[in-house]
Amino acid sequence: MMKKTILFGTLFVLLFANTAFAYDVQLQPFKDEERDYAKDPIYTLSALGIINGYEDQTYRPNDDLSREAFIKLLVMAGKIENKTSVGTIPVDVTKDRWSASYISAVHERKWLDSLLDQQGLLHPAQTITREEVAMLVGKSLLESESETARQQWLTTDWKKEQVVRSFKDSSSMNEAMKPYVYYAAHRGIMEGDQAGFNPKEPLIRKQAAAVIYRLIDKRIAEKKIDFTGYYALLSYPAIKQMDKLSHVIFGWSNLSYTAAGTASLNISSTVNRVPDGYEEVIAAADAAQITKELMVFYDGANLKDFLKDESAKKAFIASLLSTLKDPAYSFTGVSIDFEGLRDAASAADYTQFLQELQSQLGSLTLSVAVPPIYYYKGYDLKEIGKLADTVILMAYDFTHDDNMLPSAPLPLVNDTVLAALQSIPKEKLVLGISKQANQWITKSGITGTALKPAIADVEKRLAMPGVDATWAMPYFLKKATFADERGSHVLYYEDSQSIAKKIWLAKFYDLQAVSLWFMGNYTPSDWEQVAAQAVK
């Protein structure tokens, strides 16, 4: 039995088989969190790794922010290339200063011109003011506009905005910054109050988080993204949702490998089998004009042996191709979901298998599902990313009993995406979302292992009296507590709000798509989220 130990804090440590894997993420609430407008921005940016707290587990939301600190936030939020070698920088910024690369990135874009004094000094540690923040935000936003639109604003339109806004303290603004300050206001990133814009006031940390979050959200809010639905298990109620998808993967098969030297595709005798009435499902996908892949699942302990068994692999691929090319299904590709490869020695064998399969697929597509690689070392993400048309990242199942860690806290999802992006192009990476709940029951001081209650049961429970439901930070999951004759319950749930946040994260990283495991679990409100975000 594998021993797992988890320590919570800014550094999250997970031990598997006496080997430590560290996730440098925030998994506890900040001790000084404020329940105001900045709470969601602070925790979202913390999950993305854009902002950090302090070693004492505080965020210090009301502390002032320096110019260089805000510049770093702006660069990270915009995913601006932060070169290892520092380019041009103001004269008072040394190349070995912690912020030099961030400052260089915006200095080369001429965003700092109106911040420099007559001697060309930036004064990076100086507290940044509201007008300086607005100026930087305005320049970053205008950079993405066409040259015509940019010049129209800088020469004419900003003056119209100045009249509309009627800030009482407009005369105290830096003249060079005004066009950009008003553009930030025009785009809804920064606002004034009854006293005006307060241009010379310092910007505090929670205000900076709100500004940066709005800037990101404004950039991606109107983006659409492709969705892949897993039609598996009890998914018939979701058959009418096909029109919201770009791709569907049918969970209708698994690898059958019970003896050395032979293997086949099983589509009839396990839970992952072709269902009765499959023709209706195929017709619905065709009517929606979406691609149709067949998922092949396997998680047997002898998977590593199969990957070394040349005869078995050859027989399996032949069996698989026969089904893939069967006109009754008209599959457009295959999705391989082989799970549980912990040993790094299996990585080369798995890659070789995928190479052998891919070489025989012809025009059929290949997608590959991969787990977080922190403790599953049998997946060479770089090679898989080269071979597969898409890679589906199963960024979930972090569930841990000792500390009631749920399946997919947003900070760990983000960390998993960042790790995958080091090897897989974003154009191929699909963020997997598993619609599930994790429930712990404590009785007589003893807490049992995590349960996975049915989604329908969770929805019923949440509607009952006596349930205290909250939005749990920094997990970004619904948390419900209640008590009954079985004991006291703690339940974390991937509801529509948490699904929306994960979709938001996928759009932030410009990922290829989001996958939904599995379609039958998603509720009407979840599908509303998908419809609002989908390309189709």
Residues 288/226, Cβ–Cβ less than 8 Å:
no
Task: Answer whether the bond into residue 518 is a cis peptide, omega within 30°.
Answer: yes
Q: Between helices 130-143 and 67-77, what is the axis angle to 10°?
A: 30
- Tokens 């998977």 — which residue? 303
Amino acid at 325: K
- What pLDDT was estimated at residue 81? 84
Which helix (DSSP H) or strand (DSSP E) does residue 283 occupy? helix 278-287
3-class SS of residue 222:
coil
Task: Answer whether the bond into residue 372 is a cis peptide, omega within 30°.
Answer: no
Kindly give the pairing relationship between strand 365-370 and strand 390-394.
parallel
Q: What one-character DSSP code corresponds to residue 451?
A: B
Could you tell me the domains of the chain? 49-220 (no CATH), 226-409+419-431+508-533 (3.20.20.80)
CA distance 161 to 31: 41
The per-residue pLDDT string of the chain (536 residues; one tens digit each, 9 = 90 and over) reads 232 323 333 334 343 333 334 457 889 999 998 889 999 999 999 999 999 999 999 999 999 999 999 999 999 999 998 776 788 999 999 999 999 999 999 999 999 999 999 999 999 999 999 999 999 999 999 999 999 999 999 999 999 999 999 999 999 999 999 999 999 999 999 999 889 999 999 999 999 999 999 999 999 988 999 999 999 999 999 999 999 999 999 999 999 999 999 999 999 999 999 999 999 999 999 999 999 999 999 999 999 999 999 999 999 999 999 999 999 999 999 999 999 999 999 999 999 999 999 999 999 999 999 999 888 999 999 999 999 999 999 999 999 998 899 999 999 999 999 999 999 999 999 999 999 999 999 999 999 999 999 999 999 999 999 999 999 999 999 999 999 999 999 999 999 999 999 999 999 999 999 999 999 999 999 999 999 999 98
- Tokens 């991969």 — which residue? 370
Name the nearest CA neighbour of 509 among 433, 432, 431.
Answer: 431
Residues 530/521, Cβ–Cβ less than 8 Å:
no
Residues 245/536, Cβ–Cβ less than 8 Å:
yes
What single string gives the DSSP state of each residue in 118-166?
Answer: TT----TTSBPBHHHHHHHHHHHHHHTS-HHHHHHIIIIIHHHHHHHH-
Full-model pTM: 0.94
Which helix (DSSP H) or strand (DSSP E) does residue 226 occupy? strand 226-231
Helix, strand and coil content of the chain, in percent to the nearest 5, comes to: 35, 20, 40
- What pLDDT was estimated at residue 83? 72
- What pLDDT was estimated at residue 87? 84
Long-range contacts of the stretch 2-9 (C-beta < 8 A, 24+): 4/400, 4/402, 5/402, 6/400, 6/402, 6/403, 6/405, 8/403, 9/57
CA distance 370 to 162: 52
- Tokens 């690898």 — which residue? 255
Burial of 110 per CB tally in 10 Å (0-12, 13-18, 19+)? exposed
The side-by-side arrangement of strands in the sheet containing 477-484 is 446-447, 437-443, 487-493, 477-484, 468-472
- What pLDDT was estimated at residue 373? 87
- What pLDDT was estimated at residue 391? 98
Residues 494/435, Cβ–Cβ less than 8 Å:
yes
Residue 115, CA atoms < 13 Å, CB-side half-sphere: 32
